[in-house]
Each structure stands twice: as structure tokens, then as C-alpha cells.
Amino acid sequence: MEIQTHEQRALHDSAARFLSQQCDFSRHRRQQQDTEAPFDRALWARFAEMGWLGVLVPESAGGLGYPVADALPIVEAMGAQFVTEPYQEVALASVQLLLALGDEVQQERWLPAIADGRGLTLLAHAEHGARYDLRCVSTRAERMGEGYRLNGAKCALPFGDAADRWLVSARTSSASGDVEGISLFVVEAGTAGLRFARHEGLCGEPWADMVLEGVAVPASARLGAEGGAFAAIEAAHELLIAAASMEAVGTLQAVLESTREYAGTRRQFGKPLSSFQVIAHRLVDMFTQVELTRSLAWMAADQFGPAREASPERRRLLLSACKAQVSAACRQVGEHAVQIHGGIGMTDELALSHQVRRLLGIERRLGDRFEHLGRLAEAVSAGQAIYA
């Protein structure tokens, strides 16, 4: 399955051209070596100029108002290059949450800032010890006069300390593990009581953990009804699974192409590596995994289209099936690529080694293979079926 419309092809091709010039491996290496490098606001502004940050934002708020499926080709192009900026988290997840939960005043206040690049807005939901269970929220929000006071901690925020605001999930009632009682609050940068600890991800990208100690927010910062944010957070999580799958397609394709080129030019015993049957078979296996992942990624994208017919339960199963395959492909293709390259495949100076690490990151992000296979097994045991 390939890109389906002229608009999607145009977005993908323009993104691929731009990113190949602005986000190449040399820039990635410079960023890695400068561990104190700030978030690249200039590049983020270029993303806004291209319309990418407002692709889901309604035209009335300064965006393009495109459907989700039209944003995913941009994500695929980013996967093929070295983009560490949190595009998916901001332009997809945060925008969807504001559209789903925000009232008209809140949307007019925060959506235009995302679209024009001035408002880096991140979802802060994951917590230590929760693994992949979205219901495990221990951060609390207590009523304090006309507002709320937040206490707790969040983890694994991409460029988390560089954001202009965060959409922070916190419990206004019930206990950790319950679906009910989770609310979402907009917390602005510079609010008293916020602390961050930065650390490095698998691919050298900056992540940050957030600590909230008596963070005061007004009642107007709450998105949606009190205690009723879980369904929207779950929907945003599902959208991120579809986006991660499309990102994997771009990275997998890039790894396949570089490995195929290397096997065709590297000679052993007077012959190209690709002429040996065992290498040819591995290249075919890699190609098969890439195409299977591409097909499933577009199946995941279809779950967010206007003509989707799947129930929420079936959609979750389809996305789990997709992510399980994506995770398996990321590991298999990455391992084959390194084995074909030999020792050089692990060197930091080779772009492929960074792409393989990115695949390993995607493998575990938003649930690894075994997590999603477990969900599928539980559903089958309970009598549910994906294709019935």
C-alpha cells in the first residue's frame, strides 16, 4: 500500500526534499556532540512556514485543517532523515487533544501558537512505573480556591524542558489504575514549582523528566470536564502509534536502501556481497518486512480517516496488531543491516548505526512487540476478533 492521494504525495515529496537538506546526518552528529545545544527554534519555525505544524489545526485557527492521513506522509519523510524534534507529539497529539477537549476560547488561545511555531506544546502523561498502562496516573490535582494545585512527576518528554507549555494529566479523583478521575491541565513554562531533569535517549536525543511541586493553575487551564480526559488521551495515544508506525516506514526504507547499496559495492572474494545467496536472502527478508510494515502503517492511518468503520475496541486491536509487526520489523531489519555491514555497522561515524538505534527506539516506544501481542492474546481469549 502506498501514498494514496496527490495531496499526500505532494506533502511527502516536499518534506523529503526539505529535510534531506536541513536534517542530514552531519547536523545530527553536531547536535549529538553538543549536549547542551538548545532546541532548534529556527528549524521549528521553518516547519511552521511549510504548514506542517498546523496540518491538523483548523483554518480558522491559522492551520490547514487537513485530515490525519495527510499528516502521516510528513512523518514518513522525517523517519527517513535525522529529525529528533517532537513533531508527532506537538502537531498531532497535542493538537488532537486541544480539539477534543478544549472549548472555543481555549482553542483560539493555544492552537494558533502551535501552528505558527511559537507554542511548543507537549503532552505530559507517562509516569515512572506505569510501563504502557495509560490508566496509571499518580499525579494529583487538588482544588485550591478558583484553581488547582498539581503534585507529582512525569517522565520521557522529548525536549521536555524546552516546551512553552505542557498538557499535564493528573487525578482529580479515584485511584491510580482507574479510568475515571483523570483530568488534563495546560501548564505554562515558568510556572512556579516545575523542575526538569534532562537525560539522553537511545539515539542521543534529549528527553526530560518533569517534577511538579505545588504547581498552581487556574480553572481555565483545565481541558474538558473534570475527571473525563482519559478517552481523549487514549485516542491521542492511538494516533501516536499510527505516527510511529509511519516513522518506522521511513527509517526502515532508508536502512534497506543503504544496506542494499553497501552489499552491491562491497566486494568479497572478488564478488559483490549481494551476489552471495545468504546476503541476497537477507536483503529479500528486509524488503518483505519493510513492505509489510508500510501496508500495516497505512491500515493504521485509515483508522483515523472519515470513512473508518471499526469500533473503538476493534480499532485498538488493529493498532496493536500493527505495532506488534512494526516492532518486530524494526528489530529484524536493524539486525540484518548491522550483520551485512559487519563491524562497521556499529560505528558511531556511520549513519546506519544511528538509524538502527532509532529503529530500536521505535520498537519499544508506545508498547513493544510483547506488550501488544499480550493485548491481542487477551482479546482473543475473551472472544474478540480483529477481522470478524
CATH fold of 6-119, please? Butyryl-Coa Dehydrogenase, subunit A; domain 1 (1.10.540)
pLDDT at 362: 95
Predicted confidence band at 382 (pLDDT cuts at 50, 70, 90)?
Answer: confident
Q: Which pLDDT does position 309 carry in this prediction? A: 61
Task: Show Cβ contacts of residue 96 under 8 Å, excluding neighbours closer than 6 positions.
Answer: 56, 232, 235, 236, 239
Q: Which of 14, 9, 1, 114 is nearest to 70 (CA)?
A: 9
More confident residue, 280 or 305: 280
Residues 6+ apart with CB under 8 A from 369: 323, 324, 327, 328, 331, 363
SS3 of residue 267 by DSSP: strand
Quick one: pLDDT band at residue 2, thresholds 50, 70, 90? Answer: low
> Is CATH 1.20.140.10 correct for 231-381?
yes
Q: Where in the chain is the domain with CATH 2.40.110.10?
A: 123-227
Work out the angle at residue 148's Cα, subtended by the Cα atoms of residues 146 and 154, and round it to the nearest 5 degrees: 160
- pTM for the model stands at 0.94
Share of the chain above pLDDT 70, in %: 96
Query: Sorting pLDDT into bands at 50, 70 and 90, what band is 65?
Result: very high
- Distance in angstroms (rounded) separating the CA atoms of residues 91 and 89: 6
Whole-number pLDDT of residue 322: 94
At 239-253, the pLDDT tens digits run 999 999 999 999 999
Residue 37: is its pLDDT beyond 90? no
- Candidate CATH numbers 3.40.190.10, 2.40.110.10, 3.20.20.140, 3.10.50.40; the one for domain 123-227: 2.40.110.10
pLDDT for 163-196, tens place per residue? 999 999 999 998 888 999 999 999 999 999 999 9
For residue range 309-342, what is the model confidence (pLDDT) as tens digits?
668 888 899 999 999 999 999 999 999 999 999 8
- Give span(s): CATH 1.10.540.10, the chain: 6-119
pLDDT tens digits, one per residue of 11-32: 899 999 999 999 999 888 888 7
* Number of other CB atoms surrounding residue 231 within 10 Å: 14
Residues of each domain in the chain carrying CATH 1.20.140.10: 231-381
**Over residues 152-171, mean pLDDT:** 95
